[in-house]
Structure 1
């Protein structure tokens, strides 16, 4: 038996390691050349402390309270030198990956499909040479080198972890480096280099209602999350918490992947979605911004986990709306992006 442990470092890098049954996270990391912080390895100093966001584990009782208090343990703090997982886990490591002598992964793949979904968005499919090497948390992003340049661009996965073909929704930017490549030069079979995964925007364990807010190509990470939830339901790991996605775009023809959302709504009985169009000339039944359509029934009096991915003006508008309305979600995870830089996450 082996478990997959996601180590999320404070510089945004995620490293996945395998942990054998009965093995501590610290030992598993060192076995795979990830030097997590430690001084004693005996549960005495507390140097190896991290925060377990997801998963089951045993901490035993061999550590000192000075290293990890009962209050810290109750909040999910762990000592990686004592933590023995009994399931897959996600652990926040409060240092940069470079200090642990590990680096973000690098992968090779080839262009499988480039499809113009609308004037505003392009879908890129990349067939990976070694799909087993690409493990990520649904919602995370990766850097893709732009062929013929020395630049890269960062995109969230729209496919689920474990798929041999990784897919991405890419905004079509006039004169954009990646947009220009995809619309003018890209050919099936072109070699691509990818670096990642990265990011702290990812789906956590669902324990209460979920509200997802997507703007434009910010829909991508939610497609990845929903794909995984459909798979888990098929495997018997469903949850009954209500989930609602509000997907906002500027124009009618910017709405893409609605067929996928219909599929998710059919496969996940507790999932529903609504679409919103900004254009005043639109005949869409819901016009305006996502903030105009966050009804009380999807906010659950604040007993809700909110996930938000979109351009900076949308993120700022939602933050302002929550503040003005006195809405304090139980947890709030958001990622804002601009066309020419990596996403910025907060939680």
Structure 2
């Protein structure tokens, strides 16, 4: 039987996935997965179940009234989940928290498959999941419990959704909880993950993309690039990857591999250290591909520490550049600070 995977994104950043059968209404599919989406009448009359379809195709039928969903609202992507019948995979934003819908975060068991040190800059952590591959949106993150500490840290996936082996790029912090644990982690050590979470994820588009990564903010873009490569994307994609020191430039070989796999992909590396021999020094904003930014058709994705995110936002304002869409994520060494789209 044909079915579609629907990502439900809640206001508190939690994402849950449900399988919706062909011809099945999303509200019914969610209830079948024990997720109680907002509803009252379930007949297309009250509008209580109104959500926003971010991506995907669907049929709303004509059994609802104008007071519940106006033509303008439907044209803008608003849907009634009691009437929406998906005809493809979809992403749907739910205007309430996961707790209100009587659901919550997934707890995922995994074991260490590999720990690769990249100088004193970063660690690539690979985990093998128990059970089937994890569903998430490329760009999202999970919280990983640090064994024995009672604390967790947030990390974006570097791998594509649905894989049993998950990858993460983790900044090394002297004395940091996760960094200290990773220094003696062994293959087979068990970890617990919570998620997936986050509103920073790749949207469907055929237009040009500009990715701006600061340090280990490269991680979510590796997941996005893998998804784009598997789709056979030919759209223009430019990544500007900025770091503080030469040693912070990690996984450049992975970017070279994507240049080979994605005909429209190019990347630029930038080192902030003015004493560096790197051919491009300074800030990411000093090396923006301005020829791609002029006509307002580009989608910009930005992931990095707060000063970098703030600097890019200010630069775009000073240049009066308004992209078609702008999605950003700030992070500190310990957690995701803020997301916006």
Using the size of structure 2 for normalisation, the TM-score is 0.98
Offset of residue 301 of structure 1? 2.8
Specify the alignment match of 1:136 in structure 2. Answer: 136
CA distance in 2, matches of 1:92, 1:4: 14
CA distance in 2, matches of 1:344, 1:155: 13
1:227-261 Cα deviation digits (max 9, x unpaired): 1111122xxxx3x4311110001111211111111
Q: Per the alignment, in what secondary structure is the counterpart of residue 334 of structure 1?
A: strand
Offset of residue 303 of structure 1? 1.9
8 Å CA contact retained: 2:329, 2:336: no
Specify the alignment match of 2:286 in structure 1. Answer: 292
1:291-341 Cα deviation digits (max 9, x unpaired): 001132231433211000000110010011111111111110000000122
Specify the alignment match of 2:171 in structure 1. Answer: 171
Q: Which sections of structure 1, spanning at least 5 residues, go unmatched?
A: none
Specify the alignment match of 1:180 in structure 2. Answer: 180
Offset of residue 148 of structure 1? 1.3
* RMSD (Å), alpha carbons: 1.0
8 Å CA contact retained: 1:118, 1:256: no
Aligned residues: 340
1:253-287 Cα deviation digits (max 9, x unpaired): 21111111111111111111111111111111111
8 Å CA contact retained: 1:117, 1:256: yes
CA distance in 2, matches of 1:118, 1:88: 41
8 Å CA contact retained: 1:55, 1:89: yes
More helix by percentage: 1
Specify the alignment match of 2:93 in structure 1. Answer: 92
Specify the alignment match of 2:321 in structure 1. Answer: 327
Specify the alignment match of 2:14 in structure 1. Answer: 13
Specify the alignment match of 1:209 in structure 2. Answer: 208
8 Å CA contact retained: 1:50, 1:94: yes
Offset of residue 343 of structure 1? 3.9
Q: Does structure 1 residue 273 correspond to structure 2 residue 273?
A: no
Q: Which sections of structure 2, spanning at least 5 residues, go unmatched?
A: none
CA distance in 1, matches of 2:121, 2:99: 37
Offset of residue 212 of structure 1? 0.4
CA distance in 1, matches of 2:161, 2:117: 24
Specify the alignment match of 2:332 in structure 1. Answer: 338
